[in-house]
Structures are given as structure tokens and as C-alpha cells.
Structure 1
Amino acid sequence: MKAILCQQYGPPEQLVLADVPSPEATTGQVVIQVEACGVNFPDTLMIEGRYQFKPPFPFSPGGEVSGVVTQVGEGVSHLAVGQRVFSLTGHGGFAEEVVTSAATTLPMPDGMDYVTAASTMYTYGTSYHALKDRANLQPGETLLVLGAAGGVGLAAVQLGTLMGSRVIAAASTDEKLAICRQLGAAETINYTTENLRDRIKELTAGNGVDVVYDPVGDRYAEPAIRSLAWRGRYLVIGFAAGDIPSIPLNLALLKGASIVGVFWGAFAQREPKISMQNFQQILARILSGQLKQHIYKTYSLAEAPTALRDLMERRVVGKAVVTVNS
């Protein structure tokens, strides 16, 4: 089979398309013929050696796939050969086949296409867990989403709107913010041309925001925390802008605020029952049309390095997806 391989840490341009042996399923595993694979920020960290999990060389990036089960290992009873599935693989998805845990593999609902299925778990899973479980977002509250045009950002915009909050979307271009408005944002901030704190103060009549959803970090974190309302919650999602910020903790004290970490992957492993309940609610909203992933572009397997580069250069609005056997 063909796979995109990372043979040493470095930029996407060092990845190679190569022939490798097909995988075999062992106990508790399945092999999936990959139809589509989502492109996510952790993929870019993994190939550069900056992610907390470091697979042995050579490895394929690609942490969420959709496809068809071709092998079932011992002890797997809820999946069968020929079944359409989507799966959280962690890595290995930029390939024609991937072996993965059956525990993180779910049957695809009827009516769902492969591209949608391969672009759902990371974005909506992370954002719903963040807003529901970690922030306890309430109807009528104000939610600020930084990096709002990215995959998890747009998911947070949509989910926050469905949960009854007033969503303020912040991104780097007016074109990106137009997409955010289409997907439910009530207000927008271009933090390239506008002062983030001043604009938040203006939009909230000086009261601040109840929840900050921050997958960006870097220089945007502190002004966002300074813009929290009393008892506000700042959600630490990730650091797509590069640097991990140092936060003056007196800000949390003065505002009675909470700085809350969000690690959806660990949550899904440690609290699988609640995670599955969340995901069933997400799927119901997708199938009903309440949630719709914004697909920036689909790429062939050979174009997977380009997809990663586009993500790193912040050209991707919403989700990029690699299609393999489709």
C-alpha cells in the first residue's frame, strides 16, 4: 500500500510517498481502508517532533480517518468487515490502510459521507467538550472565540451559537470573519487591524466576555484574559500561533476567573462514557443539519504535505481533508 511517511523530524516538504506493507489487526484492533483523513494541527507538531506523543520512525501523520473495515482482530464484537466507520487513530491516517484501536472506531451513520466523517472528531469533539464540560457555557452568556476561522474555532462558533450564547469571533482577515458570520457569529473582531481589548470592551459595553475559547495562545492570550467578565472562564485549547504564553495569575484572582485546560483526547480515554454521549449529540446535530463542517479543500494522498503546509500557513478556513481511496 502507499503511505505518506515521516522519516525524520522536519517540515511537510520532507515527507515522502512510499510503498509499505499492509498492516495486520491484532487483539482489539481493526484495519481500515482509508477513504478520507482529516488534517489537524497536531499533525504539524508531530512531524516536527513537538507533539507530546512521538511515534517511532517511520510513521504516517493523520489522526482521524473514515473508511471501510477490512480486518477485525480478536475481541472486537461491535465492528465487522465491510462496515463503514470513522476512527480516532492518533497517527497513520495518511495512507491507503491504517490499523487502529477498535475502541476509538465507530460505525458511520447512514447518510454521512466520508469527508464529513473524517472531519468531525477532532473539531466538534474538542469544542463540545470545551464548551459543555469545561466551561459550562450557559444560554445568554458571551463567548469569545480566538482563531475562529480554523477547524476547532469554527466548530466552537457553531456550537456556541446552538447552545444559546452570543458569539464574538476573532480572526486575522475579513474574509475569514465573513465565514464566521455565516456560521453563527453575532460579532467579529479582526485582530490584525483592530485592538482586541478595545473591541471586546466596545462589544460588551465594558462588561467583558464570560468565556474565552483560545486555540491560538501567544500574544492574544493575555488581552483575552484581561477581557474576561467576573467569574469568566478562559479555555486553554492550544497554541497555534506558536509561543506558549506566560499569564499573570493575579488576573484570575482579580476577576474570580478560571483558567481551564482542555485535552479532549485524554478526556475521551479517561471518561469514555461521557465522551460517547457527547459524540452522539454531535452526530444527531450533524445529521439534522444543525452542524455543517466548512471544508476548505480536499487533497489527494500525494498532496498531503501541501495540506499540512496550508494549515501551518493559516490558509485553511475550516477543515482540510485528504481523500485517499475515494
Structure 2
Amino acid sequence: MLKFGVGIAITGSGSATPEQVLSNDDLAMMVDTSDEWIKARTGISRRHLAPSSGSLSQLSAEAGLKALAMAELAPNDLDLILLATSSPDDLFGSACQVQRLLGASRAVAFDLTAACSGFVFGLVTAAQYIRTGTYRNVLVIGADILSRWVDWNDRGTCILFGDGAGAVVCQASETGDRLLGFEMCSDGTQNSSLNLAYQGQEKFINTKSEITQGNYQFITMNGREVYRFAVAKVPEVIEKALYRANLSAADLDWLLLHQANQRIIDAVADRLKIKSEKVISNVCEYGNTSAASIPIALDEAIRIGKVKDGDIIATSGFGAGLSWGSAIIQWGK
């Protein structure tokens, strides 16, 4: 057992996206839209979609293996696997299937559901297990296949979402703590702005007992309200996390937001007075991959050498719930 108060290091990253691509021009043949219209309002050009033969567990395991390789760990070195997702293969959860696919027989595994905030919430959760000395090596995965739950006749939502998975390895460190500060928030009064709701019909199973049975409906969203929420709340939560880290926006090397919409990313950066060259964005290629968006973008930035050891990054996830949060992290060992 580690001593209380041990820090964490973020030592590996990985990502996986399906090969199948749906472009804006493809969408224009399905609904009343155009490449120009979508780009102007969202910044999205393409999104990657999981085929019917694919699974969330497979994408998650692929991302996880890449993160483990970078961290120079074997699957059996893992103590805990946290899978942040809102679209598991099994309603009871998919983390244990990811554990099986990885061959991480020593690790406990469970799902965490916080929609587009899931990766940030998962990272903070992992840190608590490490800081208290419970576990040494934790794999945090953000993954979603929201194409399963999109109404492909609704141009307000079908243009936005893509599928993918991203992962990071968090390890115990006796020499420092690279989760510098965080803040997490929820507001259930705004739940109707973005949801994927269950809808059931009454069913009598005998003469005196009534239940409901049904299915989950397609994603519904009030785009205007979500935009207002994000632009107002995300800069605020990042500033609170920076305060906890005893830092300011000027100390940041990178701003990495949930890749929901380029207009939101630009507006938040502008409010924080962060220059565009310090903003990491790949929403153009992948669209909104929910809990996967931050770790996919982080992994790409690390692998091309944009993010370097010691760089300080402000991350922020925001979305359904409504939930939002920020984690200020420093990359590397």
C-alpha cells in the first residue's frame, strides 16, 4: 500500500477510430444540408462511424493497448480500468469486456457515465484511487459510439456526432503530482437541453401489477441552449480549476476542450484570452465523439510532437446531464 498523498503521472496515451468515414457531402445526400452550412456552424468536415460488426469494447481495448505500450506497461500491470461511456455494448456495462480483451486479469473494471464530461470525470476519479494509495496503475478510457443513437433524418443532430475511443495511463508517482487542479459541476435542471431518454409503454404483467417496457429514444438537443451553457460555464470552470492549481491562463501551454463545436472552442479560448495557436482541435476530422473527444485529440497531439513532456494543459468536458468539468494536467512522468 502506498503512502497517503502520493501523486499521479500521466504516462501513456492511445486512441482508436473506425475506418468508415461519413463526409459532409455524404450527409447532404441524406438530409437538407451542405458542406458549407455544416462547416460554418460546427467546423466539422467528417466523422468516423463504427460499422455494424464493430463494438465499443473493441475500440476501447485498441486505444488502451496503445496507451499501455507508450507507458511501457503490460495489461497485467493494471490495477483498475475506468471506462467513461454513455453508449456501452451492454446496458450493464462494457468495462469488464474491455478488461477481457486487454488480458488485464488483475484489474478491476467498471463503467462511468457522464456523457461528454466522462473523460474528465474519469481522470479525476482515477486520481483519487492513486492518491489514497489504493492503486498504482489505472487505465482511463473515454469511448462512445453515438451513431447508434442518432436520428439520421434530423439534420440538427446527425451532422454532429462520430465514434471513437481514447485512453490514458495514470500511474502513482512519489516525485510529483501531474493533476494540478480540477473542478466538476452538474445541473440537472437543464437536463432537457441534451438527452438520450428512455421511453416506455405501460404493460400489465398480471391483474394488479403494472410496469413499463420500451427502449431509448434518439438523441435530442437544444443546440442554442447548449451553446449558451458551454460558452458561459466552461471558461468559469477552467478558471476555478486553474485557481486550485495556483495557475492562470497565461501559464498554459495548451487548451484542450471537448470537441463539440469549433465555434464553442473559439469562444471559450477568446474569453480566456488564449491564442489560437495554443488550442488543440481536431473536430474537423472526427466531429463530436463525446467522452472520447479529449483523449483522442490529446493522443494525436502527443504523437505528432505538439504536446511535449512537462507541458501544462487545461482540459474541459461539458455536455448532457448537464455536466461540466475541468482538469489541469501536466503531461509526462
> Normalising by the residue count of structure 1, what TM-score does the alignment of the two structures yield?
0.27
Higher helix share goes to which structure?
2
Q: Which has the higher contact order (CA 8 A, sep 6+)?
A: 2
